[in-house]
Structure 1
């Protein structure tokens, strides 16, 4: 064995010819990920979310990117993956465009902020249904497409959008996100179970755990927490997440470079969760 030799390094991060499905792909981190998958070489990236108009707008934006590889295209397949019927509809829509899926990004998610004493059961149910139950149903129903051309040398990939809130303590106080934090912890552990189940089928399963990114979902929480500037300053890297940060981890895990990573939960937060831990230990009541 030649320890110094890397097979075809120039294509190590290439996704040439791959087919990807991104739930919750019409905005935010999902749209960023979809853009990265396309630009890294995917031939098809199927965008799904509840609203057809949002999916259509996203695919129009993606297909207008100036540096797409020849033949690459984004495709709109709207569906509500919060229900089993919605996941079934998504699968049927995807089958109209492909007989296999190489990359499945389970990104659709929801959050809810409210104080402990008034936190409604309906909010907990909604968040857990979309952030955990829907992920399981999506992976289970898409398993045949994921396995269709997967192999030891070239496994298919499942990426789950989790959160650092599932690795540590999330937001408490007046806008506490109990369901969100619990759901992200649950989906990380679900991912580990799926990784062991799906590994022998030549499918890897990993979770991406973002910290604060200035997306539509997080902008309200950022303001409640003191504003973007304050949160950025408290980060060891002195900034919030950028699109490139998500693009990089998505392409890495989806490419040959990440083919032996399985069952992991990778934080993309600049190290902020460790600062939170230090401040909490010191008795900071604002965390």
Structure 2
């Protein structure tokens, strides 16, 4: 191959474009899910479905997304409230999505929960609730949406599954009075689940990858940020001297969903400024 041929990259200016893609974001009404939904919509998705338990939160999120000035005029966010931890609700969610699309290109399985309590009194029901939502419901969400994900996926244009893990599943999570044993265990489990699904679903033209966020200011994390010394304290402990920003998360999700991420499968990508490398979240 000549030098002139080597510099010719296939349609590179659009490599991050999601033009015409259809996406679903679970846990999409706030926080990391909402950041990602905004990025997906602004990167060209024609439809972005938002789901979480609370109908009012979904409606509010969709109204804000549909008011974005940078999205395509015909692109739309659609609210479908559902409890992902309930298998009957997942069936209903699939049925509702199927009413307005014949396929799904991107599934961002982001819904999750945590619980903090000391070791001696850590409650069994909360441990089960966190594991059910963070692991079991992720598996069944992907399983139940597989027919829509394979509907128009090809080897050269595969569908994408992106799962929210955590650096708490890579290194130690929070311990002490507000220990997050179930959260840490669930995130380690779901990231390994992604590796298994990558091999299972890859031949069906579905790529499965996970992101592992560190601390991002959000409703889920703000209490833990305060417990661990506050924003400035945690920024000082990170190698890049800051915590995550909305654009960091949205950019990574868009990358994985785009042609730029089309040869990643079974990857777990930490997004924490390198904090997990120091052993300190």
User: TM-score category by the smaller chain?
Assistant: over 0.9
1:3 Cα deviation after fit: 3.2
Moved over 2 A (4+): 1-5
Partner of 2:194: 191
What secondary structure does 2:6 align onto?
Answer: coil
Give distance in 2, aligned partners of 1:147 and 1:127: 29
Q: Matches of residues 214-233 of structure 1 in structure 2 within 5 Å?
A: 214-233=217-236
Quick check: 1:238 aligned with 2:238? Answer: no
Q: Please, which of 41, 45, 67 is the counterpart of residue 42 of structure 1?
A: 45
Q: Please, which of 269, 274, 280 is the counterpart of residue 271 of structure 1?
A: 274
Give distance in 1, aligned partners of 2:34 and 2:173: 24
1:5 Cα deviation after fit: 2.3
Quick check: 1:167 aligned with 2:170? Answer: yes
Q: Matches of residues 61-76 of structure 1 in structure 2 within 5 Å?
A: 61-76=64-79
Q: Matches of residues 102-117 of structure 1 in structure 2 within 5 Å?
A: 102-117=105-120
Give distance in 2, aligned partners of 1:80 and 1:93: 13
Q: Please, which of 181, 200, 204 is the counterpart of residue 201 of structure 1?
A: 204
Q: Tell me, which stretches of 5 or more residues in structure 2 are unaligned?
A: none
Partner of 1:79: 82
1:67 Cα deviation after fit: 1.1
Q: Can you list the C-alpha shifts for 1:136-173, whole angstroms capped at 9, x where unaligned?
A: 00000000000000001100000000100111111100
Give distance in 2, aligned partners of 1:166 and 1:71: 39
1:96 Cα deviation after fit: 1.3
Give distance in 2, aligned partners of 1:187 and 1:4: 39
Partner of 1:178: 181
1:4 Cα deviation after fit: 2.8
Instruction: Please give the TM-score of this superposition, normalised by the length of structure 2.
Output: 0.97
Give distance in 2, aligned partners of 1:13 and 1:184: 28
Matched residue count: 278
Quick check: 1:146 aligned with 2:149? Answer: yes
Partner of 2:18: 15
Partner of 2:140: 137
What secondary structure does 2:249 align onto?
Answer: helix
Q: Can you list the C-alpha shifts for 1:215-267, whole angstroms capped at 9, x where unaligned?
A: 00000000000001100111111111001100110010000000110000000
Instruction: Please give the TM-score of this superposition, normalised by the length of structure 1.
Output: 0.95
Supply the RMSD in Å over aligned alpha carbons: 0.9
